[in-house]
Amino acid sequence: MIRISKILVANFFLFIFPISSVAFAQGSVTVTGTDLTPTFSQGTSTPIVSLSFSNINNTLGQARITNIQVDRTGTATVDDVEFVRLYEDANKNNIVDGGETQLDMKWFLGSPGSLTFIIPDPYYLPTTTKNLLIVYDVKAGANTSHTAGAMMLSTYISDNSGGLTVITFTGITTGNQPLPVELTSFTASVQNETVNLKWETATEVNNYGFEIQRQNTEIRNQKPEWKKIAFIQGYGNSNSPKEYSFEDKNPQAGKLQYRLKQIDFDGKFEYSNTVEVNFDAPVNLVLDQNYPNPFNPSTTIKYEILQNSFVKLSIYDLLGREISTLVNQAQNAGYHEITFDGKDLASGIYIYQIQAGEFSRIKKMLLMK
């Protein structure tokens, strides 16, 4: 997979720890945890661990969290991860979406090493459940050869009498997984009658390939819609930079946007950023000379149409008899091409004519066997 700015964290389990002590005579507190196996997007904060605190039968609601300790594992440095954050997830949906409150934030400071989140006082646990999220902020320029993980160490619970109970998470750890692999470049440029796309990857893991998608933002009375125009096979697994290219030979006139849908062998996918070009329509109906000419037995005919039109492209003999219709359909404005196969025809001169709306063009071609 080519992970465009993402971290994957391996599964782990946080066991339930009932607390029973004189300090919690009113009830008990349990803590459970979940590895969120997140996908990080460049420049965003994404949770890696969810902690759920349940204050059971505590009618006074006086139990409170004072701090949480986390160990950073792996080989990531300060150049890879900037911050580790602790959020209260009010929506309890395990995502950073505006429905959460940041309780504390620490500089990553490299790994391995531990850090302690200090919870604002007082931070009481309700008689229901409270969810907290631990979040990594991964930098855009993270070193793709480094790994990052986390290990839960302990959390401190206090009660209204000042007693302090420590919950220790023994042996609870995430796997150390690769930091984001970035799509290092993706560009689009207009060259003559085509749009050339180029992109490069740093490393690849489980990469099935790239689906190339295009949309035209200037089609009248139509909402822009992404459409697949091609698929390029990936390298699968690679530790070295790889270059890709694609030539869009039939672009539509207007402002065109392109993006890549990178697909894993297991069906998971990621979208790249969007690139944009302005592709001008032909100044008139243009019918190019077929190439090669003379030809045997096939040749290519290219043409340009000014606007969306119903197009008919036909082949005639010198007596004016229509012997083949190559195109007979509505087409978008832009550049088009089609191949004519004359294997069943005798050698000689033939006429090809195009009609697009009110415009018409005629040229000759020579079949030599």
DSSP secondary structure letters along 46-86: EEEEEEEEEEET-TT---EEEEEEEEEEES--TTTEEEEEE
Domain 183-279 matches domain 286-367 at the CATH topology level = yes
Q: Give percent of the chain above pLDDT 90.
A: 28
Give the separation between CA 38 and CA 43, rounded to whole angstroms.
14
Regarding the domain delimited by 286-367, which CATH topology (the fold level of the hierarchy) does it fall under? Answer: Immunoglobulin-like (2.60.40)
Check residue 311 and give its pLDDT: 94
Check residue 173 and give its pLDDT: 52
Q: Please say whether the beta carbons of 13 and 31 come within 8 A.
A: no
Is a pLDDT exceeding 70 seen at residue 236? yes
Question: Which segment of 74-83, 245-254, 270-279 scores lowest on mean pLDDT?
Answer: 74-83
Q: Which residues of 337-360 are buried (b: 16+ CB within 10 A; e: fewer)?
A: eeebebeebeeeebbbebbbeebe
Q: Where are the domains of the chain?
A: 13-178, 183-279, 286-367
Give the separation between CA 36 and CA 6, rounded to whole angstroms.
13
Regarding the domain delimited by 183-279, which CATH topology (the fold level of the hierarchy) does it fall under? Answer: Immunoglobulin-like (2.60.40)
pTM comes to: 0.45
Average pLDDT over residues 71-89: 82
Q: Tell me: the pLDDT tens digits for 273-310?
A: 899 998 876 556 889 999 999 999 999 999 988 888 89
pLDDT range class, residue 60, cuts 50, 70, 90: very low
Q: Please say whether the beta carbons of 215 and 271 come within 8 A.
A: no
Is a pLDDT exceeding 60 seen at residue 180? no
Check residue 90 and give its pLDDT: 82
Most confident of 80-84, 141-145, 263-267, 293-297: 293-297
Contacting residues for 344 by C-beta, under 8 A, at least 6 apart: none
Q: Tell me: the pLDDT tens digits for 339-366?
A: 999 999 999 999 999 998 878 889 999 9
The domain at 13-178 falls in which architecture? Sandwich (2.60)
Q: Tell me: the pLDDT tens digits for 1-11?
A: 332 222 222 22
